[in-house]
């Protein structure tokens, strides 16, 4: 039956929000408080929820802020009591997805991936999480409480690689759920795309009015929690990071919950490759450890047993593998650059030299990036990855401009002192084709390498 509500009018305002939240010059508290106040004001304008439900969302938002304030004020017991009350009040409204499924409404199974940097050798059980009897190794991060081991995985191998800071050498493991009865809280909702999907989906007649309201209500309930967990941290290396207060409290609540096994979330990293990727991460606290310190629940969910738990995971020296595989192409790029540079410097024809300017520039930059990428680490490597991921588009733009300019030169090439002879025309045509087959092809492979490559 048709919906009684104009869902575009009801929800379109949510599209204006963006996560993660950038606090700018504000404190974390000010950033969240301003967001919550604006959200609560707007939620009151909706008509598909009754007044009690809208007040419940406001109560939830207020309690999250109160728990944050109490924690910062060192009143930890009170903070956790308030946070637990807040979560218990909304837990039946939050959107969830079965572990190992794309969503609650799509039965297709999806795998998860985990990467561990370095040359150490780990088996499948060790990949699952830090054992509980080595909890001193569990450090503080956004969804990681110090001393509380969790299992962290990603929906795509490339996302796991980005989150692991793009190591050269690593082991990787693929985990597939064999049990799907446990649920993940869905924090991986994008206000723009998720709202557009809802507005498009809700009017369809296959849904009852109660189902439509339930979808939209759950979406409105979860957004304050997503906001609270997605403030960009300014000083990640400090032992205490205010932006991590709510997500860490959430992980403790999940650990003690019988309703949920973990959370699904988008990265709040300042790495644009991670943030713009369509994949997500999952974090699942280790519960009920066995005698070796490994979570019994997670072993059951992912089918880790006596027959496979000691299987050694695949090791990959990723960068060397790529360089070895593309050695011939890289050599061809350098040869092409030397030849095109020589031609530009020694040609008798100004038009030909001008035509090759962009070729020389992009080849020089690409060679420098490729050489630097092999040795750089950390933030420098990230800058190189971003540059290499865009180099293909730059090369294609240059090729398009060069072809257009060459066609104009040919069209205007009338006999005279500055005209190009036929053999030079053929030489230029061959060089344009060589740029396509040598430079653009290699740039495309690098684009795949840094955006999709390890899938």
Domain boundaries along the sequence of the chain: 1-94+192-243, 326-451
The confidence score (pLDDT) of residue 294 equals: 96
Of 267, 266, 245, which Cα lies nearest the Cα of 65? 245
The confidence score (pLDDT) of residue 277 equals: 56
The confidence score (pLDDT) of residue 278 equals: 63
* Residue 220 burial (10 A CB sphere; 0-12, 13-18, 19+): buried
Q: Residue 387 corresponds to which tokens in the numbers above?
A: 């540059």
Residue 2: CB atoms within 10 A of its CB come to 8
Could you please report the per-residue DSSP string of 403-432? HHHHHHHHHT--SSTTPPPHHHHHHHHHHH
Measured CA to CA, the distance from residue 245 to residue 29 in angstroms comes to 11
The confidence score (pLDDT) of residue 219 equals: 94
Strands (DSSP E) found in 257-396: 262-265, 281-285, 314-317
What are the residue ranges in the chain where pLDDT is below 70? 1-3, 268-278, 318, 376-380, 382, 417, 450-455
Cβ contact 231:31 at 8 Å: yes
Measured CA to CA, the distance from residue 358 to residue 210 in angstroms comes to 61
The confidence score (pLDDT) of residue 379 equals: 59
The CA-CA-CA angle for residues 233, 239, 240, to 5°, reads: 55
Residues 6+ apart with CB under 8 A from 205: 1, 2
Cβ contact 167:118 at 8 Å: yes
| Exposure b/e, 423-449, CB count within 10 A at least 16 = b | ebbeebeebbebbeebbbbbbeebbeb
The confidence score (pLDDT) of residue 455 equals: 46
Of 390, 386, 339, which Cα lies nearest the Cα of 360? 339
Measured CA to CA, the distance from residue 439 to residue 431 in angstroms comes to 11
Helix (H/G/I), strand (E/B), else coil: 192 = helix
Measured CA to CA, the distance from residue 108 to residue 389 in angstroms comes to 31
Measured CA to CA, the distance from residue 360 to residue 91 in angstroms comes to 60
Helix (H/G/I), strand (E/B), else coil: 385 = helix
The confidence score (pLDDT) of residue 394 equals: 93
CA–CA distances in Å: residue 121 to residues 127, 283, 322: 10, 23, 21
Measured CA to CA, the distance from residue 51 to residue 54 in angstroms comes to 5
* Residue 418 burial (10 A CB sphere; 0-12, 13-18, 19+): exposed
Cβ contact 110:103 at 8 Å: no
| Exposure b/e, 171-208, CB count within 10 A at least 16 = b | bbbebebeeeebbbbbbbbbbeebbbebbeebeeeebe
The confidence score (pLDDT) of residue 270 equals: 57
Cβ contact 283:152 at 8 Å: yes
């Amino acid at each position: 039956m048709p919906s009684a509500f104009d869902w575009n009018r009801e929800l379109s305002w949510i599209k204006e929000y963006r996560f993660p939240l950038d606090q700018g010059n504000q404190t974390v508290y000010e950033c969240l408080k301003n967001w919550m106040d604006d959200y609560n004001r707007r939620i009151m304008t909706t008509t598909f929820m009754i007044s009690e439900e809208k007040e419940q969302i406001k109560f939830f938002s207020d309690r999250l802020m109160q728990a944050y304030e109490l924690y910062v004020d060192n009143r930890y017991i009170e903070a956790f009591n308030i946070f637990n009350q807040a979560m218990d009040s909304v837990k039946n409204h939050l959107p969830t997805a079965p572990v190992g499924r794309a969503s609650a409404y799509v039965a297709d199974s999806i795998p998860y991936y985990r990467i561990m940097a370095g040359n150490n050798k780990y088996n499948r059980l060790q990949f699952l999480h830090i054992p509980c009897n080595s909890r001193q190794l569990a450090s503080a991060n956004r969804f990681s409480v110090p001393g509380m081991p969790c299992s962290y995985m990603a929906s795509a191998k490339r996302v796991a690689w980005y989150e692991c800071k793009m190591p050269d050498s690593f082991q990787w493991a693929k985990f597939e759920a064999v049990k799907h009865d446990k649920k993940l809280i869905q924090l991986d909702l994008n206000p723009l795309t998720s709202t557009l999907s809802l507005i498009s989906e809700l009017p369809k007649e296959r849904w009852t009015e109660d189902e439509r309201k339930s979808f939209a209500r759950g979406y409105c309930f979860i957004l304050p929690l997503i906001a609270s967990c997605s403030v960009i941290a300014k000083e990640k290396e400090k032992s205490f990071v205010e932006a991590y207060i709510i997500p860490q409290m959430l992980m403790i609540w999940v650990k003690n919950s019988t309703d949920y096994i973990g959370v699904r979330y988008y990265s709040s990293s300042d790495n644009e490759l991670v943030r713009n990727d369509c994949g997500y991460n999952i974090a699942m606290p280790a519960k009920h450890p066995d005698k070796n310190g490994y979570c019994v629940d997670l072993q059951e969910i992912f089918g880790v047993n006596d027959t496979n738990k000691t299987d050694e995971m695949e090791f990959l020296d990723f960068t060397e593998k790529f360089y070895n595989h593309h050695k011939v192409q890289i050599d061809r790029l350098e040869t092409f650059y030397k030849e095109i540079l020589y031609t530009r410097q020694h040609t008798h024809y100004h038009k030909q030299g001008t035509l090759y300017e962009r070729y020389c520039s992009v080849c020089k930059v690409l060679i420098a990036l490729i050489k630097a990428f092999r040795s750089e680490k950390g933030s420098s490597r990230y800058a190189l990855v971003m540059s290499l991921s865009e180099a293909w588009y730059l090369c294609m733009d240059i090729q398009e401009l060069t072809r257009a300019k060459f066609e104009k030169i040919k069209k205007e090439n009338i006999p005279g002192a500055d005209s190009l002879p036929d053999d030079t025309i053929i030489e230029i045509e061959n060089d344009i084709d060589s740029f396509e087959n040598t430079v653009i092809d290699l740039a495309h492979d690098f684009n795949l390498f840094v955006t999709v490559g390890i899938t």
